[in-house]
Amino acid sequence: MTPREPTTSAHGISKPELIARWPLAGDADDAVGSHHGLADGLTYTAGPDGRAGLAADFDGRRSRVCVEDHADLRLGTDDFTFAAWIRCQAPMRGAFGDILSKFDPLGRCGLNLHVAGSSPAYSSMSDQRHVHFGIDDGYVGTWEDFGKPEPSNSNVTAIATWQGELYAGIADASTPEKACRVFRYGGQQRWHDCGRLCADPNVLSVQSMLVHNGRLYAGSGNWDWVKAWGQMPGFSPSKVHVYEYQGGREWRDLGQVGEGNRVMCMGSFAGDLYAGLDREAGGGKVFRHTDGDWIDCGAPDGLNVENLLPIGGVLNASTHGSIYRYGGETTWTCIGKDPHGINQIHSMAEIGGQLWIGTWPQGYVLRLERSGEWTNTGRLGIPEGLYECNEVMDLRVYNGKLYAALIPKSQVWRYEADGHWTLITSLASRPDWRPDDPDTWCRVTCLNAYGGQLCAATGSCFSRAEHQDVEDTLGRVHGFTAGQVCSHEHDIGGGWTHVVAVREGVETRLYINGRLSSVSHAPARTTFDLTNTDPLFIGYGTQTYFAGAISDVRMYAGALTAEGIRRLGGGS
């Protein structure tokens, strides 16, 4: 549904006041007041109109502008407008990062405006540039059940947002024909079948998904590693392929990838699509898709390639216990082996310019410091003293906070500070659950942003259809809201884009190039007071440093009209 433009100002403000303007034309000074910024690591480039020196280049690693807190910048409960011209890095060589933020992470209070792509489970963040505008004052909503894509499935393996729609891939089902399918969410717990990746009955899972260069891709395999390794009597796994979605129920085969039995993950880096394979038959290799062929990029250490993630211009890969940086051709350099005694790595994310990893079996979330040391930010899952089976399956930033997805109790946790994580929910359960029985374990397989919500998918440990639980909590997708978020979930590309974020009364609105893209409303009987004493950052926030260029950042007291926004962005 297309958002409707407001017809009148809720608070009767006819002429919003320009509080601050940072042109970023050679410096970080405020052009209308005294809220000058401290620039760190900026260079200057041509602005949106092509004239030299009218925009700041942010390198995605340390560049940012810090504006000291002031009463003028404290948003409180008032209406406001932020506007900026941005140009995201293209092609993607790391997370796109935050446009601006004024946010207290401990109190979960303030504003976030950032660019991020979809991030489906083991696969890296896509190269799609989605814009997310969020405010919060410590509000946590309830979880909404989006339903079950396939009734006989016990594991949603990945969820991805593409062209404003939510897609889910599944593993096993009651028959091979029902398995290995992708579904599109239609609202009100309805899911539309987008087809099976292939007709081969010995391929039972959508193993991985990724949006790359404007297209949706899926990698095949068998999530159940017993079947994937040929150890299940009567089952012979097939070699794996990657497929490109063609619409409807059609998928185009991009060919066999190496000799593996599972495409463990995919990644987008520097304009190319990468795929990581399993150990054993796959040899733990990484492949790059170039000119219709899959090019062998070598094996980091021969174990499962669990994740691929670009950070700061370098492609990173994690295997069962180690982290590697890609050096080109078939060269990989280890930057961490079994840190803090872990032996598997199942998720990676860039947070605040640093690499974070989610691990097994202790459930540690580790952060790589600039010194090369690894910091343990906390242990998640079931406590010490029980059978160790905590696996951090995904890490995702949503509205200024980092969230983690876990097995064995299908939990979602939120990071507060080192050593302090908050358990948010458990989305699946079994009455026969035991920590020493993997058949009873429950997963949150992945986290992803969609429609202003944080979405989470559930699954069983092995993904077998017969492992469905009595309460039917497995193989489902859920969503919840922290604060108030509206998002533009179409790729804005690598050119100049005008972004405007507005709060007016209980409503927030996001405009892209002068057009209203998204609207959200505060929960009933809830007022968000955004007052905090943290600095206002341009080009930096919880996700990470911005990679690209920013120009003409403006802050208004009051809500600009739709016509005013169109004029500000150069529209007629």
pLDDT in tens, 529-547: 999 999 999 999 999 999 9
* Confidence label for 267 from pLDDT (cuts 50, 70 and 90): very high
Local structure of residue 383 (DSSP, 8 states)? P
**Considering the chain, what is the average pLDDT of its residues?**
95
Asked whether the beta carbons of 171 and 206 are under 8 A apart, the reply is yes
Q: How far apart are CA 210 and CA 214, in angstroms?
A: 10
Residue 8 has pLDDT above 80, yes or no: no
- Give the torsion sign (CA, 521, 524, 528, 529): positive
Residue 12 has pLDDT above 70, yes or no: no
> What's the pLDDT at 15?
84
Q: How far apart are CA 259 and CA 510, in angstroms?
A: 46
Residue 203 has pLDDT above 60, yes or no: yes
Q: How far apart are CA 569 and CA 511, in angstroms?
A: 10
Of all helices (H) and strands (E), which one includes residue 566? helix 562-568
Q: What is the mean pLDDT of residues 487-514?
A: 98
For the stretch 16-57, pLDDT in tens is 999 999 999 999 999 999 999 999 999 999 999 999 999 999
Q: What is the mean pLDDT of residues 495-512?
A: 98
Nearest one of 280, 297, 191 to 240, comparing CA atoms = 280
Nearest one of 200, 207, 192 to 459, comparing CA atoms = 207
* Confidence label for 494 from pLDDT (cuts 50, 70 and 90): very high
Q: How far apart are CA 558 and CA 569, in angstroms?
A: 18
Asked whether the beta carbons of 297 and 276 are under 8 A apart, the reply is no
Tokens of 71: 């009463």
Burial class (CB in 10 A: 0-12, 13-18, 19+), 165: middle
Nearest one of 438, 482, 431 to 464, comparing CA atoms = 438
Residue 70 has pLDDT above 80, yes or no: yes
- Give the torsion sign (CA, 281, 283, 288, 292): negative
Amino acid at 307: N
Burial class (CB in 10 A: 0-12, 13-18, 19+), 494: middle
For the stretch 82-110, pLDDT in tens is 999 999 999 999 999 999 999 999 999 99
For the stretch 127-181, pLDDT in tens is 999 999 999 999 999 999 999 999 999 999 999 999 999 999 999 999 999 999 9
CA distances from 254 to 50, 118, 244 (A): 39, 21, 7
* Confidence label for 2 from pLDDT (cuts 50, 70 and 90): low
Q: Rounded to 10 degrees, what is the CA torsion of 438, 442, 446, 449?
A: -170
Residue 9 has pLDDT above 50, yes or no: no
Note the helical H segments in 268-308: none
Query: 538 forms bridges with which residues in the sheet?
Result: 65, 100
Q: What is the mean pLDDT of residues 429-449?
A: 95
Burial class (CB in 10 A: 0-12, 13-18, 19+), 236: exposed
For the stretch 190-200, pLDDT in tens is 999 999 999 99
Residue 570 has pLDDT above 90, yes or no: no
**Domain segments of the chain: what residues?**
17-117+128-137+499-568, 144-484
Local structure of residue 226 (DSSP, 8 states)? H
Name the fold adopted by 17-117+128-137+499-568: Jelly Rolls (2.60.120)
Asked whether the beta carbons of 43 and 29 are under 8 A apart, the reply is no
Report helix, strand or coil for 178.
Answer: helix
Local structure of residue 176 (DSSP, 8 states)? G
CATH-assigned architecture of domain 144-484: 6 Propeller (2.120)
Nearest one of 86, 84, 81 to 497, comparing CA atoms = 86
